[in-house]
Chains A and B, each alone.
Chain A
């Protein structure tokens, strides 16, 4: 049973528009959430994170929103750029061991 779910395998957006990537989780013990970005033939790279005590975190063009009551988080990219085309993974952490549990990923394609 997947504890972190990304229900959209793919998303296409026009350059300059907003990209919204969604993620749902089931484990209420998760206390920290992260987004990773992955290009082909490379490892995932950390993008942005949010603690469960916050509902929003912003870093440049990237904003993550957390709705704890709905067990939902989203990543907003504004404005989207062709270089943002990649697979985006949502991930969550719980427990003292601090290992990441990943979603299945969403392939974002930003069209020029």
Chain B
């Protein structure tokens, strides 16, 4: 099925470890996003990429890096994981124009101990 695919679905890290969350979309969308969801805080934008080759910081970028590898793939890297990064991470993509076309992946539940 067409959509946004995130891997892994679950991950447990020790403080200080690094990892990369992978995201791929097959809808030929230009824009891609990484959000984190925390209880009582909704979804907060970490980084976004308006088009291939560009990335910009969102509301909560500290501790993260991103790579827009090509039009399909947008990865999120935690260089040195901290317990405050325990969260559910969602990748999304959208075509040009109004934001109603956002399609989200099913999420990655990350726990940092």
Q: Using CB atoms and an 8 Å cutoff, list the residues of chain A in contact with chain B.
A: 4, 6, 9, 32, 34, 36, 41-46, 49, 89, 91, 93, 97-105
* Residues in A whose Cβ lies below 8 Å from that of B103: 46
Given A46-B102, A49-B100, A104-B40, does the pair A97, B107 have CB atoms closer than 8 Å?
Answer: no
* Residues in A whose Cβ lies below 8 Å from that of B4: 43
Contact A91 B56 (CB under 8 A): no
Contact B100 A46 (CB under 8 A): yes
Closest Cβ neighbor of B6 among chain A residues: A43
A49's partner among B42, B56, B94, B98 (CB-CB below 8 A) is: B98
Contact B107 A43 (CB under 8 A): yes
* Residues in A whose Cβ lies below 8 Å from that of B102: 34, 36, 44, 46, 100
Contact A105 B48 (CB under 8 A): no
Contact A97 B50 (CB under 8 A): yes
Contact A41 B106 (CB under 8 A): yes
* Residues in A whose Cβ lies below 8 Å from that of B106: 41-43
* Residues in A whose Cβ lies below 8 Å from that of B61: none
Q: Using CB atoms and an 8 Å cutoff, list the residues of chain B in contact with chain A.
A: 4, 31, 33, 35, 40-45, 48, 50, 56, 58-59, 90, 92, 94, 97-107
Contact sample, A vs B, 28 pairs, CB 8 Å cutoff: A32-B99, A32-B100, A34-B99, A34-B102, A36-B102, A42-B107, A43-B4, A44-B43, A44-B90, A44-B102, A45-B104, A46-B100, A49-B100, A98-B31, A98-B94, A98-B97, A99-B33, A99-B58, A100-B33, A100-B43, A100-B102, A101-B45, A101-B59, A102-B35, A103-B42, A104-B40, A104-B41, A105-B42
* Residues in B whose Cβ lies below 8 Å from that of A32: 98-100
Separation in Å of the A62 CB from the closest CB of chain B? 13
Contact B45 A104 (CB under 8 A): no
Separation in Å of the B95 CB from the closest CB of chain A? 10
B44's partner among A6, A9, A102 (CB-CB below 8 A) is: A102
B99's partner among A41, A42, A43, A93 (CB-CB below 8 A) is: A93
